[in-house]
Amino acid sequence: MKQTHTYQSIKLSTNSLERFEDTLVVEAPLQININKEPYTVVMRTPGNDEELLRGLLYAEDIYKKKENLKIDLIENKKDFSTILNITIPIEKLGKGYLNKRTLLSVSSCGICGKKELKDLKIEGKSLVLKENEKLNSMIESIGSMFMKMNKMQLLFKNTGGSHACAIFSSNQKLLTVNEDIGRHNAVDKCVGDLINKEKLKEGHYMLVSGRVSYEIVSKAFLAKIPVIIAVSACSSLAVDFAKEFGIFLVGFSRENKMTIYSNPKIIE
Using CA atoms, how far apart are residues 182 and 19, in angstroms rounded to an integer?
32
d(CA 217, CA 234): 10
Establish whether 109 is a catalytic residue.
yes
In this structure, what are the phi and psi dihedrals at residue 215, rounded to the nearest 5 degrees?
A: -65, -40
Cα 62 to Cα 205: distance, rounded to the nearest angstrom:
42
The answer to whether the beta carbons of residues 166 and 220 sit under 8 Å apart is no
- Alpha carbons 26 and 24: distance in angstroms, whole number: 6
C-alpha closest to that of 243 among 120, 93, 89, 127: 127
Active-site hit among 109, 165, 190, 234: 109
Cα–Cα distance for residue pair 8/19, rounded to 1 Å: 7
CA distance 23 to 64: 37
- According to DSSP, the β-strands at 205-208 and 163-168 are antiparallel
* Residues 215, 7: Cα–Cα separation, whole Å: 19
Provide the annotated active-site residues: 109
